[in-house]
Structure 1
Amino acid sequence: MQNYYSKLHEMIEYHQVGASGLVVVGDPEMLPAGTKFIVGETGELLAGKISKDVINVIKENLLKSIQSKNPKNLTLSRTDSVFFPSSLSVPFSLTSDLTIFIDPIYPQTHLIILGGGHIALPLVKLGKLMNFQVTVADDRPSFANSKRFAEADNVICNNFEKVFQRLSINSNTFVVIVTRGHRYDQLCLEEALNSAVKPAYIGMIGSRRKVTTIMNTLQENGIPEEVLDSIYAPIGLDIGAQTPEEIALSILAEMVRIKRYGYSNGLKTQARGKKINGQ
């Protein structure tokens, strides 16, 4: 099992989501006060000297804290039927009650921009203004370089087929697809949908015709309709945007709405029979 502090550093460096735990009031025989541990986004134990049986008992509370992004004090009473119902065969016993402080680990929100064209330029600037960690990826050296995107935290120049091998995606990641063509948009969309953890947001720019074509192809390839419904395409809020700067603003506005409310009534929910936001 990895050292607590090295794992915490690794999670922050690679934008990983999870939670740290500290035993405030402990069981001297089984789990002493001061014990620290770290779990991943799905509740699996990553670091710390704590029984996996204890993790399993508190897993639901760990996940709730991670999903809500709110820390909490959790008390496990020996007589509490919520944690120790008669139907559950608990593989351990407590000699005293436990209090565990759970603190979600949520690094800086990560914005991944796939495509280094004219919309990516203002999108990087606005993303940094809104305190996102920003990564730009493109397969063209003239578009994916630190001189063009001086404000980006990370610029990747590689084939889109290989870009995702260098990306860390979690539920705190926002993915914006603005490549130069249908083929690359579809490729990036498929890779984003196949991520081990679902991103907070996947948005793709495109006309009604382009979006319909790609969605139909993905559905024919076996991707369920409910998964496709989670994609924001056309991307952004309807502010009548036409210029790259306005389109970038509409995208960031939708991302902020998703971040705050968990949903958006943007362009994807509207009638797509006309050209909207320059798409």
Structure 2
Amino acid sequence: MNIFAQAAQLESQNIPFAMANILETSGSAPRHQGQMIIKSDGKIIGTVGGGMIERFVIEQAIEAIALRAPRVVKGRMTRSGPDSMGMDCGGTMSVHIDVFGLRPALILVGAGHVNRAVAQAGHVLGFDITVADAYADSLAEGNFPEGTKLVLGDTMEDAIDQLSITEKSFVVIATNHQDKDAISKIVQQDAQYIGLMASKRKVQTLFNHLRKIGISDRKIEGVYSPVGFSIGAETPEEIAISVMGEVLKVKNAAAGGLMKDDSRINQKKLVMIRGAGDIATGVAIRLHNAGFKVVLTETAKPTVIRRSVSFAQCLFDGNVTVEGITASKATCCSTIHDILDQGMIPVLADEECCNADKLHPRFVVDAILAKRNLGTTKDLAPHTIALGPGFMAGVDCHAVIETNRGHDLGRIIYNGETTPNTGIPGNIAGFTHQRVLRAPNAGVMRCHVKLGDIVKEGDLIAQIGNTPVNAPLAGMVRGLLNEGLEVTEGFKIGDIDPRGDEADYLTVSDKARAIGGSVLEAMLHLDANS
């Protein structure tokens, strides 16, 4: 079997290898033409001349396979000088190294109509496909492209146990009635992509199940479900296009969406939000899902307590995901578009909103909720919108949104102001002031519980310096300030939700959703009437 036939065999088996081909030689080179296959373990088929130059090519080929990138290497058969190989021949050689057998692994759990269509689409796109199921009839070879690996188990869990899932695998779960068993096993793997076909209602049920069996929030947030892009897909073939579009977005670290909506080209879609707390995050998610390009600005060390649903937290952690939308810390204005290109929401430490002049957003939304105006003016953007007390629509901004709970929550005011700040926290299960934790003195915050913990009245929640802060009532820790922040006496440092296990600290609140919808309405109204 010649070297090219062996290369074709390795390629068909999706075994990683490199092909080295002599491009150019001069002088006394060991060979003037030739090819060599190099496997990832360093084993070779063929030769490019032997000696130190060949060892160098093997080393470079192994590195090229690891990086999945071709390269050209040069060597001089001399003892010294640039590219010297420690040889006495005196010639030179240039070798091109290309890599093969690196088709990304697409693993389909469930062999029904949807995954059959996904397999066909994935085959055309160059994926190495494996399908797993517990029903032999579903795995009939005629249902899948040539070369598909078929895995049959006594149960779906047994079939999954036979799979080889790595950090570079793309997994799509689409089963009839076994999605609970499938996701419970798959979510614990470090796959590059895990997609789960399920309705929005079923997603919540499955995710709650995962939390109950001890799966971390980070793992759960990494699951793409409902799966695919929202393109109105109904048939298996349409769903497959939607799913593979999302797979390619992750594989290529791309933004997704319409290219014509690139914020460099179409600034009509660009929104800057001042603040990145829980309400601002709810607004950002609604605008992002509506197709707008959203940028948030914050203080360098945000003092938000609802950290699990606040994009401000990425200024501490780098990246934060809320309801499937990821925000990333922008180190400077120039990195904002790079983050937007990846389909994420950039958060920039820019307390004064100085970068509005550089980005030229169509809309600025003040979502700081400081109960007073901290510098927002009508000339920050063609359309400025503010949330809550402290703003006069028609003077400070073009519109202001009512944030006080009650009948008028979310009301849009185009001339005038909202109701004054009552100073009373929202009523949850009959508790207002009682559920809020405040610093008893100035000092550094130290946490003794974490978000989502269930506590009893009197439990130690935190310390400010050496002073303990105890739970005023039983419930779930829904809000808690970041460890290590310095606070002043009376500063809000936490929040206990008296509903306990029934509370939800991982999703956007009803209040944030209502306000987000009003911001979107105000933006569309202002733009249509400008």
Normalising by the smaller structure, the TM-score range is 0.5 to 0.7
> Partners in 1 of 2:135 and 2:158 — Cα distance?
13
Q: 1:54: how far off?
A: 1.7
Q: 1:29: how far off?
A: 7.5
Q: What corresponds to 1:250 in structure 2?
A: 242
Q: Which has the larger radius of gyration?
A: 2
1:144 to 118, 139, 148: 139
Q: 1:44: how far off?
A: 3.1
> Partners in 2 of 1:212 and 1:204 — Cα distance?
17
Q: Deviations over 1:73-127 (max 9, x none)?
A: 322245565x56xxxxx7x435322210212225666533121134313323433
Contact 2:65 2:99 in 1 (8 A): no
Name the aligned partner's letter for residue 233 of structure 1: Y
> Partners in 2 of 1:189 and 1:80 — Cα distance?
53
Change (3 A) 1:211 1:166: closer
Q: What corresponds to 2:412 in structure 1?
A: none
Q: What corresponds to 2:38 in structure 1?
A: 39
Q: 1:53: how far off?
A: 3.2
Which secondary structure state, in structure 2, belongs to the residue aligned with residue 143 of structure 1? Answer: helix
Change (3 A) 1:94 1:57: farther
Name the aligned partner's letter for residue 118 of structure 2: L
> Partners in 2 of 1:75 and 1:235 — Cα distance?
50
> Partners in 1 of 2:103 and 2:134 — Cα distance?
26
Counterparts of residues 213-252 of structure 1 (less than 5 Å): 214=210, 217=214, 228=219, 231-234=222-225, 236-239=227-230, 241=232, 243=234, 245=236, 246-252=238-244
Counterparts of residues 187-226 of structure 1 (less than 5 Å): 187-190=185-188, 193=190, 201-205=192-196, 207-208=203-204, 210-211=206-207, 214=210, 217=214
Higher strand fraction (1 or 2): 2
Name the aligned partner's letter for residue 112 of structure 2: G
TM-score, normalization: structure 2?
Answer: 0.37
Q: 1:140: how far off?
A: 1.1
% same residue: 13
2:150 to 139, 153, 156: 156
Change (3 A) 1:59 1:30: same
Q: Deviations over 1:177-216 (max 9, x none)?
A: 33422323343455x64xxxxx7x4323052453475487
Change (3 A) 1:34 1:127: same
1:73 partnered with 2:72: yes
Q: 1:251: how far off?
A: 1.1
Q: What corresponds to 1:93 in structure 2?
A: 87
Contact 1:122 1:244 in 2 (8 A): no
Change (3 A) 1:234 1:25: same
Contact 2:106 2:130 in 1 (8 A): yes
Counterparts of residues 106-145 of structure 1 (less than 5 Å): 106=101, 111-128=106-123, 130=125, 132=127, 134-145=129-140
Q: 1:20: how far off?
A: 0.3
Name the aligned partner's letter for residue 54 of structure 1: F
> Partners in 1 of 2:21 and 2:173 — Cα distance?
39
> Partners in 1 of 2:88 and 2:162 — Cα distance?
44
Unpaired runs of at least 5, structure 1 = 85-89, 194-198, 275-279
> Partners in 1 of 2:158 and 2:105 — Cα distance?
20
Name the aligned partner's letter for residue 204 of structure 1: G
Change (3 A) 1:55 1:101: closer
Q: What corresponds to 2:56 in structure 1?
A: 54
Q: What corresponds to 2:8 in structure 1?
A: 9
Change (3 A) 1:170 1:46: farther
2:180 to 179, 182, 207: 182
Contact 1:138 1:144 in 2 (8 A): yes
> Partners in 2 of 1:168 and 1:72 — Cα distance?
29
> Partners in 2 of 1:124 and 1:67 — Cα distance?
24
Deviates more, 1:99-108 or 1:24-33: 24-33
Change (3 A) 1:142 1:104: same
Of structures 1 and 2, the one scoring higher in RCO (CA 8 A, sep 6+) is 1
Which secondary structure state, in structure 1, belongs to the residue aligned with residue 138 of structure 2? Answer: coil
Give the number of aligned pairs: 246
> Partners in 2 of 1:248 and 1:124 — Cα distance?
8
> Partners in 1 of 2:99 and 2:139 — Cα distance?
34
Q: 1:21: how far off?
A: 0.1
Q: 1:37: how far off?
A: 1.8
Q: Deviations over 1:241-262 (max 9, x none)?
A: 5746354332111123344x33
